[in-house]
Structure formats: C-alpha cells, structure tokens
Copies of this chain bind each other. A is one copy, B any other.
Amino acid sequence: MSRFLKEAFKSLSCYVPGEQFQDRKFIKLNTNESPYPPSPLVAARAMEAAKCLQLYSDPESAALRQAIAGLHQVKAENVIVSNGSDEVLNFAFLAFGDASHPFVFADITYGFYKVLCDVNDIPYVTVPLREDFTIRAEDYPDSGHIVLADPNAPTGIPMPAEEVEKIVQANPDRVVIVDEAYADFSESDCLSLALKYDNVLIVRTFSKSRSMAGARLGYAIGNEKLIVDLKLVKDSIDPYNVNLMTSAAGIAAIEENSYYMENCEKIIRTRRKTVKKLESMGFSVLPSGANFVFARHPGIGGEQLYRKLKDKGVLIRHFSSERIRDFNRITIGGEEQMDCFFNILDDCLNEL
C-alpha cells in the first residue's frame, strides 16, 4: 500500500474471488459458472452493439429494464440494473447503511456483505445459522437492515418464502435485501415480497442461470422509492454503469428465456445425480437450491481434499472459516465435466 491510503482502509480485507487461472487448464467447478454457453442470439446482438461503441449507452438502461420488468411482470420503475449484482449490492449498502443503521446477516453467507460494510464504514452484526446451517427467522428482530442470500452461499440451502416473509414483517422499518443470485435453480423465490412490501429488495444476476458471468449484469427489484434511492447512488458513482454490449446481450438472453430455463432444468438434474453419487461415496451433502453443492467427507478434511483435487487438475472452492472448513463447494458442471470430476475424486479417496 502507499503512504496515502486512508487510515480506515489500512486493515481492509477485500473480497477474494474463486481462483481464475489464465495459463493452466483446469476442470473449473469453483466459481459457479454455467457449463452452457449463452444462446447464439446473445453474441450476435453483442456484436451489433459493438459496431456502435463510439456512442454512450443509455444511462437509464430503459430497454433493458423494460425487458427485465416484462420477465418478472413488474414495472420498469421497479427495476435497476448494475455492472454485476455486486454493484447493486454496493448501491444498497451505501444508500441505507451508516453508523446508526447497521447491517445484519448470517455468520455463514456470501463473504462480500462484510467487505461492503467495511469499505463503506457501516457497522454490522452477524447472526449464527442453526447447527444444520438453516436460518431461523426469529433470530432477526428489529436490529438493522438485513441481507439474506436465498439460496444461501456457500451452503446452497434455500429458505422458504414464508420464513423470509416473517423476517420482513418483524422488520417493517428496515430494508430486507434478498440476494437471489441462485434462485433460478431453486423451487421458490421471494419476488412477490418485493411488490407486497415497501422494504424488500430482491437482487438477481445474469451470471449463473443466464450464462453471462463474463458480461457483468445484475439487477434489483423493489418498491419504486427504493429504486429511486439506488438510482441516486448509481448516478453519483457510475452513471453509465451497464455497457452497450452487455445491455444488448441481456435483452437477447431474456428473449431466449426458454433456452436458459431448460439449461437450469438440466443443471438441477445433474445436481440430483451429483448429490446421489457424492452420498454413495460417503459424503454428506447439504440440501441445495443452487447450481452447486456443499459437501464434506468423514475421511478427509475440506482443505486436504481441495488441494488433492487441485493437484489433479480440478478446482473446487474451499472456505477456511471455522464452521465450514470441513466442507467444499462444488459447482454443478456439464455431464461430461462431472464424470471427469468423479473419476478424479475416486482417485483422491482411494489414496486415503
């Protein structure tokens, strides 16, 4: 760091994304990417947009917001788009959090929430998940704005919408952000709460279920007034946040919705097979509503298995925090990828 970095940032720990190797080929099951490419229309539209890059994108992203609104049967005024869902989370933390408005989230959840609090100087409280890693609604009394990942990360456990609604009702004067990055792989979601309550914000991404991790496109849905707040922040730090190509790609991905929903079905089927196979090998696997599973094996530590697999050319994700250090997060890849993975996993376990 330089001698100019402000004092408050000298101990800042940034978010560490899953490893991305540019040089060596791995079977990559560590960043929850989709094994399926975007539909051909996406690349075609992106190229059309790329021919006119000399012009700014629409700072309102009107066409894209309209397309998203149509997908979810809401109004464009209920939608804000962002450069990845991380960006709209940052807008929300900035808009609503300050020294007297802390954020509350689970002890085991997406690591980015803590980072966003630190970088924006917002206090936070973490609430332990139950022993089985589920969230107890009663643990969220009126003590701060709330952010929930549903399905949760990195456990993959979905939360019934009725349970989320209990939290919303117990916190009428707090914003409840439901980060639904993986909702398309789950049986339920909380979208209806965003229209029913004025304090609910649903965050979504095109990264996973719409095969657009590399395009950076996220969005939030909520009451018009909440969206106005987020837009104020957007226009203050990143007025033209979504580029022309991503915007065109996103509209195409909505037009081709059935292609992506079929891919989600395929991933859910592969997930079922993966869980069965892992269990047959002695793993315990948490219930997953996501495009990954979180699993541990009684015979080998989480980090040890992660390292063994990495040595053999397979990347999965290990987290070192205490409650989950026995586990690994394994992205659901394509059928062939998973066959390779299981062959190599077999080798690892046979070496024990």
Residues of chain A having any CB pair with chain B under 8 Å: 1-9, 12, 14-17, 20, 22, 28, 31, 33-38, 42-44, 46-47, 49-60, 62-63, 83-84, 86-87, 90, 94-98, 101, 115-116, 118-119, 145, 173-175, 198-199, 207, 211-216, 223, 225-226, 228-229, 232-241, 243-246, 249
Contact A213 B94 (CB under 8 A): no
A99 CB, min distance to chain B CBs, angstroms:
10
Contact B31 A56 (CB under 8 A): yes
A50 touching B47 in the complex, CB below 8 Å, given contacts A62-B22, A90-B238, A238-B84 = yes
A232 touching B175 in the complex, CB below 8 Å, given contacts A6-B97, A55-B213, A246-B245 = no
What separation, in Å, do the CA atoms of A223 and B2 have in the docked complex? 9
Q: Which residues of B contact A235 (CB under 8 A)?
A: 14-16
A53 CB, min distance to chain B CBs, angstroms:
4
Q: Which residues of B contact A54 (CB under 8 A)?
A: 33-38, 211-214
Q: Which residues of B contact A175 (CB under 8 A)?
A: 4
Residue A1 contacts which of B31, B35, B225, B237 (CB distance < 8 angstroms)?
Answer: B225
Contact A96 B240 (CB under 8 A): no
What separation, in Å, do the CA atoms of A118 and B232 have in the docked complex? 12
A22-B58, A43-B47 provided; 8 other pairs, C-beta below 8 A? A28-B55, A37-B51, A38-B54, A49-B214, A87-B237, A87-B238, A94-B119, A213-B240
A147 CB, min distance to chain B CBs, angstroms:
13
What separation, in Å, do the CA atoms of A2 and B175 have in the docked complex? 10
Q: Which chain B residue shows the least CB distance to A87?
A: B238
Q: Which residues of B contact A234 (CB under 8 A)?
A: 14
Contact B237 A119 (CB under 8 A): yes
Contact A52 B245 (CB under 8 A): no
Residue A59 contacts which of B17, B87, B118 (CB distance < 8 angstroms)?
Answer: B17
Contact A214 B55 (CB under 8 A): yes
Contact A59 B1 (CB under 8 A): no
A–B complex contacts, Cβ < 8 Å, 6 sampled:
A1-B225, A53-B211, A55-B214, A90-B238, A116-B237, A119-B236
Contact B17 A240 (CB under 8 A): yes
What separation, in Å, do the CA atoms of A101 and B9 have in the docked complex? 13
Q: Which chain B residue shows the least CB distance to A234?
A: B14
Q: Which residues of B contact A35 (CB under 8 A)?
A: 54
Contact A46 B119 (CB under 8 A): no
A22 touching B63 in the complex, CB below 8 Å, given contacts A52-B214, A54-B33, A119-B237 = yes
